[in-house]
Amino acid sequence: MSAPAARFDVALLPAAAEPLEDTVVVVVDVLRATTTIVSALSNGAAEVIPAPSVDAARELHQQLGAGSIIGGERQGKIVDGFHQGNSPVEYTSEVVEGKQLILATTNGTVAMEQCRAARKVIIGAMVNVDAVADHVYAEEKVCVMCSGTDRIITSEDVCFAGLLLQRVLEKRAAAELTPPFLTDAASIALDHWQSVDRQVQDGNPLADFFRAARGGINLVRIGHDADIVFASTIDSFTSVPVLDLERWTIR
Ligand code: MLT
């Protein structure tokens, strides 16, 4: 039986998002905020609290005290006085188990601020894309919000949006649901992913595409190549972090 027409949109940058009421938003910042969040929660963090700025993160840490740690970056590097940077490989169970992680990043946690009006907000990355697709494929209105890098569109976030859409199309077909209406940006994301994926199938590592993207170039320069490898590993986690819009915490 067919469901009512669904709609799949992609905001190539937070500023390009249409009004988000009634919409399930998947926020993505492959390099690296959302990959880090999936990693930290999968390794036992009690919750992740996205902070809009370094000062807001410090203030929150003072309020929450010893059960919390504070992480994040500026220009990709750990912020002075923070416990951790924004490297998904740093967030091992030894570091995060049972802790509240307050995270302040340049683009990813700021993009989350744009989602306050959404119906639901999910945290997506290459590392959990199939689990996210399972969560959203039957929804009527989905928007992937790409965080971008310094207000510029980035390939790795658009790749995620295209791959998520491809998985959603497959899952809807398997469930005999009609394909969603695709906005122009959604079609662009799907085309981009399919073009990258053809080259990946020909033996070019996905990590190489991310290394060549704006955020990736900076990460290689400052010695975080391992993060790119980690972030380009598709479906290594099955958790689907959800941002609780009232409590402003991700679990
Ligand atoms: C961000 O949110 O701006 C990023 O994740 C940047 C980074 O970690 O390099």
DSSP string, 29-82: -TTTHHHHHHHHHHTT-SEEEE-SSHHHHHHHHHHHGGGEEEEEEETTEEPTT-
- The set of residues, in sequence order, having a beta carbon less than 8 Å from that of 114 and lying 6+ positions away, is 14, 17, 20, 145
**62 CA to middle of ligand 1, Å?**
23
**215 CA to middle of ligand 1, Å?**
8
**Per-residue pLDDT, 215:** 85
CB neighbour class for 118 (10 Å; exposed up to 12, middle 13-18, buried from 19): buried
Residue nearest to atom 7 of ligand 1 (CA): 76
What would the two tokens of residue 160 be?
């995620």
- Cα separation, 251 vs 243, in Å, equals 7
Ligand 1 atom showing the smallest separation from residue 32 Cα: 5
| List of domains in the chain | 7-243 (3.90.1560.10)
**Per-residue pLDDT, 5:** 85
3-state secondary structure of 234: coil
**165 CA to middle of ligand 1, Å?**
23
| pTM higher than 0.95 | yes
Instruction: Check if the beta carbon of residue 91 is closer than 8 Å to that of residue 101.
Output: yes
**Per-residue pLDDT, 2:** 52
**47 CA to middle of ligand 1, Å?**
19
Q: Which long-range contacts (CB under 8 A, 24 or more apart) does 136-140 make?
A: 136/24, 136/26, 136/164, 136/168, 137/167, 137/168, 137/171, 137/172, 137/175, 137/177, 138/3, 138/6, 138/172, 138/175, 138/177, 139/6, 139/24, 140/3, 140/4, 140/5, 140/6, 140/7, 140/22
37 lines ligand 1 (CB under 6 A): no
29 lines ligand 1 (CB under 6 A): yes
Q: Which residues pair with 121 in a beta bridge?
A: 25, 243
Instruction: Check if the beta carbon of residue 141 is closer than 8 Å to that of residue 23.
Output: yes
The DSSP 8-state label assigned to residue 153 in this structure reads: -
155 lines ligand 1 (CB under 6 A): no
pLDDT along the chain (251 residues), means of 10: 78 97 98 98 98 96 96 96 97 98 96 96 98 98 96 96 98 98 98 98 98 93 98 98 98 98
14 lines ligand 1 (CB under 6 A): no
Q: How many angstroms separate the first and last alpha carbons of the chain?
A: 33
Nearest to 155 by CA among 236, 231, 237: 231
